[in-house]
Amino acid sequence: MIPVTKPFLPLQEEYQNYLTGIWKRQWLTNMGPLASQLEMELKKYLSLKHLLFVTNGTIALQMAIKALDLKGEIITTPFSFVATTSSIVWEGCKPIFVDIDEKSLNIDADKIEAVITENTSAILATHVYGNPCDVEKIEKIAKKYNLKVIYDGAHAFGVKVKDKSIFEYGDISICSLHATKLYHSIEGGLMITNNPELLKKIAFIRNFGISGYDTFSELGINGKNSEFHAAMGLINLKYVDEIILKRKLLTKRYEENLVNFKASRPLWHKYSENNGAYLPFVLESEELLLKIKTELDKTEIFTRRYFYPSLATALPYLNSTDMPITDDISKKVLCLPLFYDLTEEEVDWICRIILRIQNN
């Protein structure tokens, strides 16, 4: 059986060494020494000034909306994981969808201005599969209309634009450290901002709004993470360069084998490098996708229709919105297996099966 993804796990002995320290200290959560150490090491690795380790990427999005005091309408993409949109609704705001660019699969920045109203407070854009949005154009629009910008960089760990971390863009960027991500802490998330005052506010929000021994600065939530998750994050950080390199090599192998595949790959940002987070293909038709997926399932090779269906039509708590490009792409996009333990021989086998199915 080949899953679509598999978490990277270090040697058990490495994790056990951290557990021994946790047992001695008996400091399990509430930003213990390992969580604080992880924040410091991640700031260094990602070349960032400010960073917070939080519960998960979804809580990070919710806290970002709360910290920026957003109201009314938030412009976003319908081609993303549901948390991007549900976080907006959860915080009492209204998502306004903008269709995607058919090549990059990111929100089409050229279509954003057309939906801005007096009720618009922010833009929440996703770096889909880790592929950077048109951050420069979005920044210009935000400044022109005095809007806040949040980036959902759940897939974008380690991604740069012109040698600058993608997380430095926007008022707040978030990242997911969920077990399915190329770098993970089992469960976890990151929040990044260049504004030290905003960082301080988020830190208070992360801990119930507590600002002192018996004082509260604002409405907060439990957005902290545990020492057990931080331990996994610290260990995996030592391997992340090796993990990314392996995933890039496997991606190249797929692409070389599938030159005759009736499918295309998303167009990556010209000033950025693919981090190997996912391996999406946009197939010629949904019919071909279903044919390939069904036959691969029979062989216990599992793929994922990621993202399907379009958030503009799938959510029962929102009215359906016509997004023709997203609707078309979401029906034809398929992510193939990609993870550290996957072998080149398995990649070759998967590709041979795909091409055989396609040509039958």
CATH of the domain at 34: 3.40.640.10
Q: Return the CA Rg of the chain.
A: 21
- In this structure, are residues 183 and 234 in contact, taking their beta carbons and an 8 Å threshold? no
Report the alpha-carbon distance of residue 44 to residue 24 in Å, rounded.
28
- In this structure, are residues 309 and 320 in contact, taking their beta carbons and an 8 Å threshold? no
Q: Tell me which DSSP letter residue 99 carries.
A: P
Report the alpha-carbon distance of residue 188 to residue 195 in Å, rounded.
22
pLDDT value of residue 360: 87
Residues 232 and 245 in one domain: no
**Of the candidates 188, 220, 237, which is a domain's last residue?**
237
211 lies in a domain? yes
32 lies in a domain? yes
β-pairing verdict for 52-54 and 73-76:
unpaired
Give me the CATH number covering residue 286: 3.90.1150.10
Element counts in the chain: helices (H) and strands (E): 12, 12
Residue 132 preceded by cis peptide, ω within 30? no
pTM (2 d.p.): 0.97
- In this structure, are residues 38 and 236 in contact, taking their beta carbons and an 8 Å threshold? no
195 token code pair: 């504004």
3 lies in a domain? no
Residues 232 and 247 in one domain: no
**Of the candidates 201, 220, 237, which is a domain's last residue?**
237
4 lies in a domain? no
Closest CA to 288 of 303, 277, 307, 268: 303
- Domain holding 196, by residue range, is 12-98+105-237
Residues 250 and 230 in one domain: no
Residues 27 and 48 in one domain: yes
Residue 169: left if φ>0, alpha if ψ -120 to 50, beta else—which one?
beta
pLDDT value of residue 201: 98
Residues 151 and 222 in one domain: yes
Q: Count of domains in the chain?
A: 2
Residues 248 and 167 in one domain: no
**Of the candidates 210, 237, 264, which is a domain's last residue?**
237
- In this structure, are residues 261 and 356 in contact, taking their beta carbons and an 8 Å threshold? no
Report the alpha-carbon distance of residue 65 to residue 91 in Å, rounded.
7
Residues 308 and 347 in one domain: yes
Residues 312 and 183 in one domain: no
Residues 223 and 289 in one domain: no
Number of Cβ within 10 Å of residue 78's Cβ equals: 28
Residues 19 and 168 in one domain: yes
88 lies in a domain? yes
Distance of CA 283 to the CA centre of its chain: 22
109-115: list long-range contacts, CB under 8 Å, 24+ apart: 109/133, 109/134, 109/137, 109/138, 109/141, 110/137, 112/75, 112/138, 112/141, 113/141, 113/145, 115/75
Residues 172 and 214 in one domain: yes
Reported residue count of the chain is 360
204 token code pair: 């208070």
Which residues, 6+ apart, have CB-to-CB distance to 172 below 8 Å?
A: 64, 67, 68, 150, 151, 191, 192, 193, 198, 202
Q: Tell me which DSSP letter residue 157 carries.
A: T
pLDDT value of residue 66: 98
Q: Tell me which DSSP letter residue 115 carries.
A: G
Per-residue pLDDT of the chain (360 residues; tens, 9 = 90+): 999 999 999 999 999 999 999 999 999 999 999 999 999 999 999 999 999 999 999 999 999 999 999 999 999 999 999 999 999 999 999 999 999 999 999 999 999 999 999 999 999 999 999 999 999 999 999 999 999 999 999 999 999 999 999 999 999 999 999 999 999 999 999 999 999 999 999 999 999 999 999 999 999 999 999 999 999 999 999 999 999 999 999 999 999 999 999 999 999 999 999 999 999 999 999 999 999 999 999 999 999 999 999 999 999 999 999 999 999 999 999 999 999 999 999 999 999 999 999 998
Q: Tell me which DSSP letter residue 336 carries.
A: P
State whether residue 29 is helix, strand or coil: coil
